[in-house]
Chain A
């Protein structure tokens, strides 16, 4: 049973460029959340998707956008990249209607130069 899979694992981009990160949730999960983890910090919530809609959003600018597909997979898009966007981006999935915890992917390490 595959857990959460993310692609790519590593990525280097230049300031001003755009990037798309991808996530496939664990089988049976319908809710996907994205987190950004900068060095020395806990994961910071970006947004959450359920039923192909953004349900909640953290304190991130509009440059961060996302999408959820009918098969529950999700994308995170970041436009006009800044150096400060360099971080580990984690995708996590769970079932919407339970108290169960998240299952995390291994993350995408984004470096902006």
Chain B
């Protein structure tokens, strides 16, 4: 069982500000880490799948890094926009098809126009 912590739990930023948040997980038995964005009244949407130590992924203004040795991943949003308002979930996964994906409680981001 992977214990996942995300911080902060919630965040309010002004439009145009850049922001980042953290996902911490046990570094043993790691296989992949998934980031999801969950907007109100919608389904969680996959953002990134990260597998290798040092991985960096980017999608528009959103990017993520992964450190499997120390067990953390950062998600960065550059120039936040109101449409970025959502809960961001991280989910590390162990190896093999059997391993369940364990979700953190998420970071709820509110971008103020």
Binding site for B on A (CB under 8 A): 3-4, 31, 33, 35, 40-45, 48, 50, 55-56, 58, 90, 92, 96-97, 99-107
Chain A proximity of B2: nearest CB distance (Å): 11
Q: Which residue of A lies closest to B105 (CB)?
A: A42
Cβ of B97 and Cβ of A45 under 8 Å apart? no
Closest A residue to B41 by CB, please name it: A106
Residue of A nearest to B90 (CB): A42
Q: Scoring B residues 84 to 97 as 1 if CB is less than 8 Å from chain A, else 0, what string do you get?
A: 00000101010001
Is B103 an interface residue, CB under 8 A from the partner? yes
Q: How far is the CA of A58 from the CA of B103 in the complex (A)?
A: 12
B contact patch SS: loop
Which chain B residue shows the least CB distance to A95?
B97
Which partner residue on chain B sits nearest A31 by CB separation? B97
Is there an interface contact between B43 and A104, defined as CB atoms closer than 8 Å?
yes
- Among B12-20, B44-52, B60-68, the stretch in contact with A: B44-52
Are A42 and B43 CB-contacts (below 8 A) given A33-B101, A99-B49, A101-B34?
A: no
15 A-B Cβ contacts within 8 A? A33-B101, A40-B105, A42-B89, A42-B104, A45-B101, A45-B103, A56-B99, A56-B100, A58-B100, A99-B32, A99-B49, A99-B51, A99-B93, A101-B49, A104-B43
